[in-house]
Chains A and B, each alone.
Chain A
Amino acid sequence: MESVIVQKMEQMPTKLIRTILSAGILCFLLSCSSKNISTRFYYQNQKALDRIEESYKKLYPRQPFNVAFTDKSFTTVSLQIITDTLTYIYLFEVNEPRLTDTLLKYHLDAPKVVELIKDIQAIRCTWINNYNYYVDEKKNSLIFMSIKPMAISSPFTYKKYYILTYFPQPQYFDSAGHLLDKRKLSRLRKINGEIFKRINDKVCYTISGSFR
């Protein structure tokens, strides 16, 4: 009996070390999605991201549409064209002639949309969309961009997408930089169920497990 107790006591430190080591490794793997990454990502790619936002903002009013890359290789583009009566969902290869034909059919500026799609593909943007939200019963819009960066594509990370939102006007934030619903209200504004943080007055970010 005594020898069993002694044995157990000898085993304990090893077990403890193993547990601590395992927990440490797990924490390291899970902590890959540091929230600082997305702000850094924005500033590193600001020119390209702002150009995409600017281009989409100009093209959207002519014929509402959104673009998604739903495959890992970023070669198949999912194009949603929203008309008054129907939303059309198409899947194309980026260089497919059908893509241009379809854009022309819906009176979109085909060369510019194709250029936009290629920019989106180059920066690994998975989705760009015009998102409507309501403040005091008034409709507002923002541009919603999801990016799948290489940095957090590890299989151990649950949150995999940087989400950027471009507002047309400056927003209100609390002292921790969280996006607020209104100036006089401390209620956080959620978009797609996510809480956003400030990058600058008009651009916010979050990290999410889904791109839309």
Chain B
Amino acid sequence: MKECVLTYTIDNLPLDKLISNKLKETGIPGKPVILLSVICFCIISQSMATSGCQPVADTMVTTTQQQAIEFVEKINELESSPFWPNIKPALFLQNLKTTIHKPISIYPGNATNFCGYGALTYLLLQDDPLGYAKLLLQLYRNGKATFSNVNFHPPFALRKAVGTLKFKGILDIHPAEQMWFLTLADHFKGYLNFFNHKYDPGDENRFWAAVNYSKFNRMVRTLLHYKINARGADLVRPRISDPYEYISEKMKTGIVVLFINNRIVHKKDHTTLKLGVPTHYIVAEKISEENNVITFVYWDYGGKTLLQLSPAFFKRIIFGISYCTKNGTNAN
């Protein structure tokens, strides 16, 4: 049976701080518990609303990396775009070419809420790299674009911000990725974006860009030629007795994206009590188990990481498992 799921991603800040910040920003009186209640309500209502999500038709033909490389290498120069006043054309082209040649280099930036969009883009670059290149060029040249029947038409405030993001690591000099992540965040909305719907400078770090699990799966279903079988929930771990077995089995036939609690994997403070909530999307690359130790390789933030952990800890960090298979294959 297919489970429809949802979660939220809030990188880098404790939930209570984020909620307090949000309440301050939105001017909503009351305590975090009010927002938590709203979130819980949204979880329930959205679970019901998305329980009937359908896979897209099995008719798409996707492209190869070689095709995309040939396409981008033919472009020697770009004219500056009136729609994106702060994008330097040479930097944009260089970024696009690097991404096509080296999809692993996709970098969602320090202290942003872009990790969900990063994981999605990493999948897109494997699924349809030529489509990605054409989409980004179309968006750059026209200020709007259509892809997989989705019309992206980012507002001027957002277009003006692209190319100006600072202190995000190498994302600072990757305007194509800035453009794409901000456009995705502007177009796709989940319940976490409810109080911050409209882009203002700095929103890439705030709830405006947050990706709940349901939204992530919806984006994959909509934009990629994949079927998704998603297990898990925003605040509840998937009911799978042996996640290692489950994930390694799924990885044989498809791509697995995990929604994990990164705050206990990648500790940022010494607080003993931590909220057991997922905060980060990663793409599973390799997994093995020996002597009760799981060796797990995953993609996130522009590279692959190898982590060794116990089965119990592995089970503890996983909140969502999205199993993606090409349309036409069985995703169950």
Counting chain A CB atoms within 10 Å of each CB, the highest count among B12, B268, B308 belongs to B268
Chain A residues in 8 Å Cβ range of B166: 181, 187, 190
- Partner pick for B268 among A89, A191, A210, CB 8 A cutoff: A210
Chain A residues in 8 Å Cβ range of B110: 192-193
Contact A86:B269 (CB < 8 A) given known A132-B169, A133-B169, A190-B167: no
A209 interfacial by beta-carbon distance below 8 Å: yes
Q: How far is the CA of A86 from the CA of B305 in the complex (A)?
A: 5
A88 touches B269 (CB 8 A): no
Counting chain A CB atoms within 10 Å of each CB, the highest count among B12, B111, B267, B304 belongs to B267
B91 interfacial by beta-carbon distance below 8 Å: yes
B270 touches A193 (CB 8 A): no
Could you give, for residues 124-166 of chain A, a 1 whenever the CB lies within 8 Å of some chain B CB and a 0 otherwise? 0010000011100100000000001000000000001100000
Number of interface residues of B (CB under 8 A): 26
A202 interfacial by beta-carbon distance below 8 Å: no
B270 touches A72 (CB 8 A): yes
A134 touches B270 (CB 8 A): no
Q: How far is the CA of A132 from the CA of B91 in the complex (A)?
A: 18
A87 touches B303 (CB 8 A): yes
Q: How far is the CA of A115 from the CA of B297 in the complex (A)?
A: 30
A85 touches B111 (CB 8 A): no
Q: How far is the CA of A161 from the CA of B268 in the complex (A)?
A: 10
Q: A88-B306, A193-B12, A210-B268 are in contact. List 4 more A-B contacts (CB 8 A).
A: A72-B272, A86-B304, A86-B306, A133-B169
How many residue pairs, one in A and one in B, have C-beta atoms under 8 Å apart? Answer: 64
Q: How far is the CA of A132 from the CA of B169 in the complex (A)?
A: 6
B205 interfacial by beta-carbon distance below 8 Å: yes
A70 interfacial by beta-carbon distance below 8 Å: yes
B307 interfacial by beta-carbon distance below 8 Å: yes
A209 touches B270 (CB 8 A): no
A90 interfacial by beta-carbon distance below 8 Å: yes
B205 touches A134 (CB 8 A): no
Chain B residues in 8 Å Cβ range of A189: 167
Chain A residues in 8 Å Cβ range of B272: 72
A211 interfacial by beta-carbon distance below 8 Å: yes
B170 interfacial by beta-carbon distance below 8 Å: yes
8 contacts between A and B (CB under 8 A): A132-B169, A132-B170, A133-B169, A134-B170, A189-B167, A190-B166, A191-B167, A211-B269
Contact A89:B306 (CB < 8 A) given known A133-B169, A134-B173, A193-B12: yes
A212 interfacial by beta-carbon distance below 8 Å: yes
B residues touching A (Cβ–Cβ < 8 Å)?
12, 14, 17, 91, 110-111, 166-167, 169-170, 172-173, 205, 266-270, 272, 297, 303-308
A89 touches B167 (CB 8 A): no
Q: How far is the CA of A87 from the CA of B301 in the complex (A)?
A: 11
- Partner pick for B307 among A68, A89, A126, A187, CB 8 A cutoff: A89
Query: Nearest Cβ distance between residue A206 and chain B, in whole angstroms?
Result: 13
- Partner pick for A87 among B170, B270, B304, CB 8 A cutoff: B304
A10 interfacial by beta-carbon distance below 8 Å: no
Chain B residues in 8 Å Cβ range of A71: 270
- Partner pick for A148 among B270, B297, B307, B308, CB 8 A cutoff: B270
Q: How far is the CA of A212 from the CA of B270 in the complex (A)?
A: 11
Chain B residues in 8 Å Cβ range of A134: 169-170, 172-173
Query: Nearest Cβ distance between residue B279 and chain A, in whole angstroms?
Result: 13
Chain B residues in 8 Å Cβ range of A187: 166
7 nearest A-B residue pairs (beta carbon): A210-B268, A134-B172, A70-B267, A193-B111, A87-B305, A190-B167, A210-B269
Query: Nearest Cβ distance between residue B308 and chain A, in whole angstroms?
Result: 7
Counting chain B CB atoms within 10 Å of each CB, the highest count among A90, A192, A210 belongs to A210
Q: How far is the CA of A193 from the CA of B173 in the complex (A)?
A: 18
- Taking CB atoms and an 8 Å cut-off, the chain A residues in 35-84 that contact chain B are 68, 70-72, 78
Chain B residues in 8 Å Cβ range of A192: 110-111
